[in-house]
A = this chain, B = another copy of it.
Amino acid sequence: MPELRKDPISARWSIISTERSKRPEAFVANAPKRTDALDATCPFDEGREDQTCPEILSYRKKDSDKNGPGWSVRVVPNSEPVLKVEGDLGRRGVGMFDMMNGIGAHEIIIETPRHEEHIPEMENSQVENILWAYRDRIVDLYRDKRIKSVMVFKNHRINPEFTHNHSLSQLIALPILPKHVKEEMAGAKDYYDFKERCLYCDIVRQEIAEGIRVVDENKNFLLFCPYASRSPFEVNIIPKEHNSAYTTITKEAIMDLAEIIKRYLKKIKAALNDPPYNMMFHTRPSFVTPRQTVSTIDKDYHWHIEIVPKLTKLAGFEWGTGFFINPTSPEEGASFLRNLEDY
């Protein structure tokens, strides 16, 4: 019997399909073809710093020059930004409709100077540098009072024309709260109002107690397949200690986070033939919705990371119906990932 499962955060339902079910191993055989071509003129490589916009931030050798070689992580504006930094919001009505100017920022985090190195191949310290760069940029952008939310995300192998197959992430700073952030906040707030406990903390406790969806953990983080997973091998990474803001992360937690992310990405790269994936950081917005005061969002919201490998192509079902069909239960997916030889 197929199961309908409800995500407690977003209130979204997923169908965990049994008729169309696929054993995790099926994705190994049908793993997506690699189409990446080597790129001899990648603008993100060390030595080609003049081919990107001037850097906003870089971690580099003491004696090296800005916008020259000698960096480990580099953040630059997108050369074709979808949002503009300059100007005012100009929020206004157009008859019954609402609009505002597209104020914000769109930045690229160049994760490594070396073209062929992706996260599974990096030293842990390099992954830590990337995670620090995210933090530094969010802190800086939240100083701008026009910016309400910053989203850090990484699309691996999803758009090779854009990335040149260089290891990159992106950051979008917006003067609004995107819908899915609002929904998460509303779900977390409703739960907190009802239970007087953090929804995410309760999920962490239940996942640890049940164990069947847990893939990995260390002192600071839990990595598991969420109960109402939208797709096979989707995982959440949640700090075990309650915390609403990624920006407050400690040095020790950054080390744990780098380790657990790298281990997961190494596993899926090896076992699923380097699948495309999307990774997204969910952290508290700079401001609060009308329903929330500063003090409650820090109590009821809990920052976390979602990673969704792109392995299925299911008849455009999601486009048609707005809900997800997952052919592999999160319990099966987690067990498959758990049992891969250690990385």
A: which residues have CB within 8 A of B?
1-6, 8, 10-13, 15-20, 80-84, 87, 94-102, 151, 153-155, 158-159, 162, 170, 172, 174-176, 178-182, 202-203, 206, 209-210, 227-228, 278, 280, 308, 310, 313-317, 319-323, 325
Contact = CB atoms under 8 A, between A and B. Distances in A.
A76 to B, nearest CB: 16
A97 B178 contact: no
Given A83-B15, A95-B206, A96-B202, A170 B320 contact: yes
Of the candidates A82, A83, A102, the one having the most CB atoms from chain B within 10 angstroms of its own CB is A82
B8 A82 contact: no
A320 B280 contact: yes
A178 B19 contact: no
Of the candidates A1, A94, A181, A310, the one having the most CB atoms from chain B within 10 angstroms of its own CB is A1
B313 A159 contact: yes
Contact of A101 (B4, B87, B174): B4
A99 B19 contact: no
Contact of A319 (B10, B100, B175, B278): B278
A11 B320 CA distance: 20
B102 A176 contact: no
A317 B321 CA distance: 20
B323 A1 contact: no
Given A102-B1, A172-B321, A321-B178, A8 B316 contact: no
Contacts of A159: 313-316
A230 to B, nearest CB: 11
B98 A321 contact: no
A199 to B, nearest CB: 8
A116 to B, nearest CB: 21
A182 B12 CA distance: 10
Given A19-B80, A176-B13, A181 B322 contact: yes
A210 B320 CA distance: 30
B6 A98 contact: yes
Contacts of A315: 155, 158-159, 162, 170
Given A1-B102, A97-B227, A153-B320, 19 more contacts: A1-B84, A2-B84, A2-B102, A3-B101, A5-B98, A6-B97, A8-B97, A8-B98, A13-B176, A16-B102, A19-B82, A82-B317, A95-B210, A151-B322, A153-B319, A155-B319, A155-B320, A172-B320, A178-B322
A87 to B, nearest CB: 7
Contact of A151 (B153, B227, B313, B320): B320
A179 B11 contact: yes
Contacts of A158: 315-316, 319
